[in-house]
């Protein structure tokens, strides 16, 4: 067991204890009133108290949503044209018994895709069938380009597996050691105390190191169960990478039973909108619309008249372009006015299909909100998909927002270290680090990612569309960007130790804010009225 892994694990858990000093609802708060740079949703809702609103549907294209969750069940969209469980497509939309949305990664027999390859592996496998055992010299110019890509993908995949496998084995050893300690106490993990662990006598160096970590974390208020949960999450990550994501021999699409290359096929899947792992989608849904002020859980940004439509599209691996395109079209056709897309990947072989679906959303006055990605790098048109620019063109989707992630610290660490950025391609930042929200089984936990930042903005968009129904999607987008609170700070650029102006990380150089967005929306009612400019927003604030 390498000391570097022990230190990494200790750092990971230490991060949890530091986060405990920040209130769980920090992202709902206001920097001026509450000292935390949240989206000021609480302030916005207090301001809107007594005002009328109308129902707004937000489609969550994600891993699935627990529609029975205690803090979400009252805000789940129900298809008014469908009769539950009768096996008939009552509303003739092509999807049988789609009561709360649809699952594009499920089979007609009720099975569901959980793990999937990454897109690079699928591309490799496609080219492997065509070019394996062929000589490059005899190929045409176009074929040589594909052959070169094939070999590049092969190198990337093999190197990744080679780097992951030892770490996976080492984390497995750490988990085995921790579970050995837990077993030695004779208790369940949730009942094991630091004192129980300290009482265990051992001469084994690895066990001694783990005992030291447990003692250190106990001093910071973290339990053995906390450590076990974090380690389990890390181990599951490495397992999914090695056994599924980068595994050339793994293929889950037979479960769906379709041809993923047939982009005209739209009527496949099933109505199981939760799926086998709805943790990510349920967390996102809670940020957008968990019931406010019900004395349980969390308060969603959107408010009482926002409903969540679950469209299961994102597996533990890369989503497929066909499914994303069909999910967007389903959302538009079934009444969503905001679509949250907390996913992304590095390759998009059928980008034109996704572009066409997003154009369809724009044409039908639907706002698309997308996470910028968690690579800690400069976002480009070729390293993260989907994006707002049509393939091979400069034309962009006008109802599209890309969101980076910020933290609870209004200092040099304000931008989350993992967040992607780009002064032109990322529109705005929003809370995305240490976000406490809903998870399946009436549970709650803190997660981090631009996946958490995007629903902050989707929630603001839903709030605006609910209280100001005359606003068009383009106006809502403009309001959210113009009302963002500028940040005048020198910060650590994500993914590096370089110092940079926060203003250089996104087009607005600011943080999305529900309160200033509401104040600006009040002056922007109606499709012909112009949106106020940033200086007016600051005066309102």
Secondary structure (DSSP) of 372-435: --SSSSB--TTSSBS-SB-TTSS-B-TTEEEEEEE-S--STT-B-TT--B-TTT--EEEE-SSE
Q: List the catalytic residue out of 40, 337, 448, 451.
A: 451
**In this predicted structure, what is the pLDDT of residue 532?**
60
Give the SS3 label for residue 310: strand
**In this predicted structure, what is the pLDDT of residue 354?**
98
Q: Are residues 275 and 147 in the same domain?
A: no
Q: Are residues 284 and 367 in the same domain?
A: yes
Tell me if residue 280 is catalytic.
Answer: yes
Does residue 392 lie within any of the structural domains?
Answer: yes
Q: Are residues 222 and 272 in the same domain?
A: no
Does residue 7 lie within any of the structural domains?
Answer: no
Does residue 431 lie within any of the structural domains?
Answer: yes
Q: Are residues 306 and 205 in the same domain?
A: no
Q: Are residues 60 and 205 in the same domain?
A: no
Does residue 307 lie within any of the structural domains?
Answer: yes
Q: Are residues 92 and 198 in the same domain?
A: no
Does residue 398 lie within any of the structural domains?
Answer: yes
Does residue 525 lie within any of the structural domains?
Answer: no
Q: What are 529's two structure tokens?
A: 């009225």
**In this predicted structure, what is the pLDDT of residue 212?**
86
Tell me if residue 451 is catalytic.
Answer: yes
Domain membership of residue 349 as a residue range: 52-116+258-481+488-511
Q: Are residues 279 and 233 in the same domain?
A: no
178 contacts: CB under 8 Å, gap ≥ 6: 210, 227, 228, 231
Q: How would you write the pLDDT of the chain (541 residues) with one tens digit per residue?
A: 333 333 344 334 444 444 447 899 999 999 999 999 999 999 999 999 999 999 999 999 999 999 999 999 999 999 999 999 999 999 999 999 999 999 999 999 999 999 999 999 999 999 999 999 999 999 999 999 999 999 999 999 999 999 998 989 888 888 888 899 999 999 999 998 989 989 998 888 888 888 888 888 788 888 888 888 888 888 988 999 999 999 999 999 999 999 999 999 999 999 999 999 999 999 999 999 999 999 999 999 999 999 999 999 999 999 999 999 999 999 999 999 999 999 999 999 999 999 999 999 999 999 999 999 999 999 999 999 999 999 988 899 999 999 999 999 999 999 999 999 999 999 999 999 999 999 999 999 999 999 999 999 999 999 999 999 999 999 999 999 999 999 999 999 999 999 999 999 999 999 999 999 999 999 986 555 566 666 665 665 5
78 contacts: CB under 8 Å, gap ≥ 6: 99, 100
CATH number at residue 338: 3.40.50.200
Tell me if residue 535 is catalytic.
Answer: no
Q: Are residues 215 and 315 in the same domain?
A: no
**Residue closest to 136 by CA, chosen among 122, 146, 123:** 146
**In this predicted structure, what is the pLDDT of residue 2?**
31
Q: What are 263's two structure tokens?
A: 């982009």
Domain count, the chain: 2
Q: Are residues 187 and 225 in the same domain?
A: yes
Contact 311, 273 (CB under 8 A): yes
Does residue 521 lie within any of the structural domains?
Answer: no
**Domain end among 224, 245, 266:** 245
Q: List the catalytic residue out of 28, 30, 62, 321.
A: 62
Q: List the catalytic residue out of 100, 280, 283, 370.
A: 280
Give the SS3 label for residue 112: strand
Q: Are residues 195 and 266 in the same domain?
A: no
Does residue 16 lie within any of the structural domains?
Answer: no
Neighbours of 96 (CB within 10 A): 17
Name the CA radius of gyration of the chain, rounded: 24
In this structure, is the dihedral angle defined by the CA atoms of residues 388, 522, 27 and 423, taken in order, positive or negative? Answer: positive
158 contacts: CB under 8 Å, gap ≥ 6: none
118 contacts: CB under 8 Å, gap ≥ 6: 245, 246, 317, 318, 345, 346
In terms of Cβ atoms closer than 10 Å to its own Cβ (0-12, 13-18, 19+), residue 262 is exposed
Contact 60, 308 (CB under 8 A): yes
Neighbours of 324 (CB within 10 A): 27
CA distance 334 to 315: 23
Report how far Cα 257 is from the mean position of its chain's Cα atoms: 27
Q: Are residues 312 and 209 in the same domain?
A: no
**In this predicted structure, what is the pLDDT of residue 293?**
95
Q: Are residues 106 and 123 in the same domain?
A: no
**In this predicted structure, what is the pLDDT of residue 114?**
97
CA distance 169 to 12: 18
Q: Which residues on adjacent β-strands are paired with residue 411?
A: none
């Amino acid at each position: 067991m390498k000391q570097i892994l022990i230190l990494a694990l200790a750092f990971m858990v230490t991060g949890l204890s530091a986060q405990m000093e920040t209130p769980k609802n920090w992202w709902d708060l206001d920097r001026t009133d509450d000292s935390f740079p949240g989206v000021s949703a609480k302030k916005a809702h207090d301001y809107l108290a007594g005002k009328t609103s109308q129902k707004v549907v937000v489609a969550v294209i994600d891993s699935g949503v627990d529609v029975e969750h205690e803090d979400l069940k009252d805000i789940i969209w129900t298809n008014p044209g469908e009769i539950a469980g009768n096996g008939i497509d009552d509303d003739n939309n092509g999807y049988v018994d789609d009561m709360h949305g649809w699952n594009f990664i499920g089979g007609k027999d009720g099975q569901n895709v959980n793990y999937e390859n990454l897109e690079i592996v699928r591309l490799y496998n496609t080219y492997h069938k065509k070019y394996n055992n062929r000589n490059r010299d005899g190929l045409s110019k176009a074929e040589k380009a594909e052959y070169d890509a094939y070999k590049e993908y092969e190198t990337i995949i093999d190197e990744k597996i080679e780097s992951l496998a030892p770490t996976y084995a080492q984390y497995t050893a750490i988990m085995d050691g921790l579970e050995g300690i837990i077993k030695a106490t004779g208790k369940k993990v949730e009942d094991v105390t630091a004192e129980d662990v300290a009482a265990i006598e051992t001469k084994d160096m690895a066990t001694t190191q783990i005992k030291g970590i447990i003692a250190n974390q106990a001093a910071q208020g973290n339990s053995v169960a906390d450590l076990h949960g974090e380690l389990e999450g890390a181990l599951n990550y490495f397992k999914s990478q090695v056994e599924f994501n980068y595994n050339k021999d793994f293929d889950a699409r037979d479960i769906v039973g379709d041809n993923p290359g047939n982009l005209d096929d739209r009527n496949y899947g099933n109505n199981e909108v939760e799926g086998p792992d709805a943790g990510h989608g349920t967390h996102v849904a809670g940020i957008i619309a968990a019931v406010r002020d019900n004395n349980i859980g969390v308060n969603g940004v959107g408010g009482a008249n926002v409903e969540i439509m679950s469209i299961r599209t994102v597996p533990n691996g890369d989503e497929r372009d066909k499914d994303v395109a069909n999910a967007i079209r389903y959302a538009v056709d079934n009444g969503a006015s905001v679509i949250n897309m907390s996913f992304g990947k590095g390759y998009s072989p059928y980008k034109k299909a996704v572009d066409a679906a997003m154009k369809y959303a724009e044409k039908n006055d639907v706002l698309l909100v997308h996470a910028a990605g968690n690579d800690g790098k400069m976002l480009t048109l070729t390293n993260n998909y989907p994006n707002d620019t049509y393939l091979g063109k400069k034309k962009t989707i006008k109802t599209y927002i890309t969101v980076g992630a910020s933290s609870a610290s209004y200092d040099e660490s304000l931008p989350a270290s993992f967040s992607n950025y780009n002064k032109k391609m990322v529109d705005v930042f929003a809370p995305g680090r240490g976000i406490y929200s809903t998870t399946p089984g009436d549970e709650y936990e803190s997660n981090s990612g631009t996946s958490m930042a995007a629903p902050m903005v989707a929630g603001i968009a839903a709030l605006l569309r609910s209280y100001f129904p005359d606003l068009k999607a383009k106006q809502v987008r403009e309001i959210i960007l113009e009302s963002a609170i500028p940040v005048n700070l020198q910060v650590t650029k994500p993914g590096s130790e370089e110092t940079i102006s926060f203003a250089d990380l996104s087009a607005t150089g600011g943080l999305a804010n529900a309160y200033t967005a509401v104040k600006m929306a009040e002056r922007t009612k109606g499709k012909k009225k112009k949106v106020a400019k940033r200086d007016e927003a600051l005066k309102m604030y």
